[in-house]
């Protein structure tokens, strides 16, 4: 116990004396949270589109004017042929082409099936999917209104349509930022915790002080605890800071219990920092450990479901995610903050991460050798 106290005292003095690390620890989260949340948004605005109107009638104009009226679309230019319009695609001045065939109005009055062609630049599948779904919605509304106009003279009671009204639960305004803040917080907390701890032991190895520790009677458990505790405290502080910023800047809701959130974060940090220490005890140089943790972080982050939903991943990837600590915290963080989930809904995740942390920490203690 006394030894642990001296280890912690030393570690904290070193952390707070480090002029390059301190700003990284305390400024980085603020900057990243602000930049990432504003930048990493999936709401698309200003999709540029070009029009090829081969019909040039009131009805055909009605179609593309709907696009123009939508906040998502921005009219680029008109063309007299599809070939010319394709030029906009190649030059990158438009990402969507609306092509209305000749005889559109004629078909309309004859009550024949109508067709409009929409071409989407799909280099980025995600944006293509979004643009095309926006376009589909607009065309659907055209579809609904056309018969209305056609039969306007007749009694409208003939047309009984199913009207769909939606209500989005847990994030009623579909505020993308509310979804992103908890996710980015997870990344921040993890990166800080894992990198700091991973570099720390290796640094002592490089400086030679590690040997001095290894010839001393410090126990393995004390040593690992002495490294673990400071970084858990820093990472938890980081989480609190991030939540505060999220509340102030983005007004994210705190629907669930913060105690619950911090308890989970504690278990999670035991795991992640334990993992960093494990990598650290098995690396010889800072370079080595940086590359290793970078590799794991990248895979874990991209698979965690921060940008792409876990539900759309292939089966094998979802199985891999059982091992991905990020995926758990990402889910739990969003569930507690946005949904107000309680321990009843989350006990499985608590148990899994708790066991996982125990396993990794035991491994870190057991494989840390005081002699080579």
Partner 1 sequence: MEKDIIRVRNLTKKFGDFVANDQLTFEVKQGEIFGFLGANGAGKTTAIRMLCGLSKPTSGEMEVAGFDAYTQTELIKKNIGYMSQKFSLYDDLTIWENIRFFGGIYGLSRSAIRDRSKEMLTRLGIVNLSNRLIRDIPPGWKQKIAFSVAILHKPQIVFLDEPTGGVDPVTRRQFWDLIYEAIDQGITVFVTTHYMDEAEYCHRLSMMVNGRIVALDSPEALKQRFGSSSMNDVFVQLARSGEKSS
Say whether residue 286 binds partner 1 (CB under 8 A): no
Select 241 or 365, whichever has its Cβ closest to partner 1: 365
Q: What is the dihedral of CA 68, 69, 74, 75, to 10 degrees?
A: 20
**Range in contact with partner 1 (rule: CB under 8 A) among 7-15, 259-267, 280-288, 337-345:** 7-15
Cβ closest to partner 1, residue 6 vs residue 295: 6
Residue 267 · residue 350 · CB < 8 Å: yes
Per CB under 8 A, 3 contacts partner 1: yes
Among 24, 31, 140, 207, binds partner 1 (CB under 8 A): 207
Residues in the chain: 372
Query: For the sheet containing 117-120, what is the strand order?
Result: 73-79, 47-53, 96-100, 117-120
Exactly one of 14, 70, 257, 286 binds partner 1 (CB under 8 A); that residue is 14
Residue 63, CA atoms < 13 Å, CB-side half-sphere: 28
| Minimum distance from residue 18 beta carbon to partner 1 (Å) | 7
Residue 215 within binding range of partner 1, rule CB under 8 A: yes
Stretch of 14-22, 31-39, 311-319, 356-364 contacting partner 1, by CB under 8 A: 14-22
The answer to the question of residue 318 lying near partner 1 (CB under 8 A) is no
Query: Do residues 261 and 189 lie in contact, with contact meaning Cβ atoms separated by under 8 Å?
Result: no
**CB neighbour burial string for 64-79, b if at least 16 within 10 angstroms, e if fewer:** bebbeebebbbebeeb
**Contact between 45 and partner 1 per CB under 8 A:** no
Considering only 41, 93, 115, 212, the residue that binds partner 1 (CB under 8 A) is 212
20 touches partner 1 by CB under 8 A: no
Whole-angstrom CA distances from 202 to 209, 227, 268, 279 are 10, 12, 22, 9
Tell which one of 41, 216, 285, 362 touches partner 1 (CB under 8 A): 216
Unique residue bearing structure tokens 């109005």? 105
Three-state secondary structure call for residue 51: strand
Q: Is 247 in the site for partner 1 (CB under 8 A)?
A: no
User: Is residue 367 within the footprint of partner 1 (CB under 8 A)?
Assistant: no
- 9 near partner 1, rule: CB under 8 A: yes
285 binds partner 1 (CB under 8 A): no
- Cβ atoms within 10 Å of 205's Cβ, excluding its own: 20
DSSP structure class, residue 338: I
User: Taking contact as CB under 8 A, which single stretch among the options 138-146, 201-209, 301-309, 351-359 is the one that binds partner 1?
Assistant: 201-209
Q: Which of residues 169-198 bind partner 1 (CB under 8 A)?
A: none
Residue 219 or 340: which CB sits closer to partner 1? 219
- Cβ(198)–Cβ(276) under 8 Å? yes
Report if residue 115 touches partner 1, rule: CB under 8 A. no
Question: Alpha-carbon distance 11 to 123, whole Å?
Answer: 49
Residues that bind partner 1 (CB under 8 A): 2-3, 5-7, 9-10, 13-14, 17-18, 207-209, 211-218, 370-372
């Amino acid at each position: 116990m006394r030894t642990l106290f001296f280890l912690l005292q030393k570690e904290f003095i070193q952390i707070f004396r480090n002029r390059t690390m301190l700003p990284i620890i305390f400024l980085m989260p603020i900057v990243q949270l602000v930049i990432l949340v504003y930048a990493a948004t999936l709401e698309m605005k200003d999709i540029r589109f070009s029009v090829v109107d081969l019909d040039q009638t009131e009805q055909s104009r009605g179609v593309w004017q709907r696009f123009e009226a939508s906040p998502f679309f921005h009219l680029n230019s008109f063309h007299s042929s599809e070939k010319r319009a394709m030029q906009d695609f190649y030059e990158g001045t438009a990402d969507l082409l609306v092509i209305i065939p000749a005889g559109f109005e004629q078909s309309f009055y004859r009550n024949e099936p109508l067709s409009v062609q929409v071409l989407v630049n799909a280099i980025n599948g995600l944006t293509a999917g979004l643009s095309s779904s926006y376009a589909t919605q607009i065309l659907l509304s055209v579809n609904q209104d056309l018969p209305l106009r056609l039969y306007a003279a007749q009694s409208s009671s003939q047309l009984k349509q199913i009207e769909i009204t939606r209500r989005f639960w847990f994030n009623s305004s579909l505020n993308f930022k509310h979804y992103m803040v908890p996710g980015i917080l997870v990344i921040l907390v993890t990166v800080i915790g894992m990198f700091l701890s991973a570099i720390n032991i290796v640094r002592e190895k490089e400086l030679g002080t590690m040997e001095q520790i290894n010839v001393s009677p410090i126990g393995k458990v004390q040593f690992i605890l002495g490294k673990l505790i400071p970084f858990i405290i820093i990472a938890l502080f980081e989480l609190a800071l991030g939540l505060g910023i999220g509340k102030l800047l983005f007004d994210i809701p705190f629907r669930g219990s913060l105690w619950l959130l911090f308890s989970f974060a504690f278990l999670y940090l035991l795991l992640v920092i334990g993992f960093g220490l494990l990598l650290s005890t098995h690396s010889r140089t800072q370079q080595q450990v940086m590359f290793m943790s970078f590799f794991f972080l990248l895979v874990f982050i991209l698979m965690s479901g921060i940008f792409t939903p876990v539900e759309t991943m292939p089966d094998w990837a979802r199985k891999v995610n059982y091992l991905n600590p990020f995926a758990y915290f990402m889910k739990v963080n969003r569930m507690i903050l946005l949904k107000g989930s309680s321990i009843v809904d989350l006990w499985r995740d608590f148990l899994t991460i708790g066991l996982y942390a125990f396993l990794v920490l035991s491994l870190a203690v057991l494989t840390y050798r005081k002699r080579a």
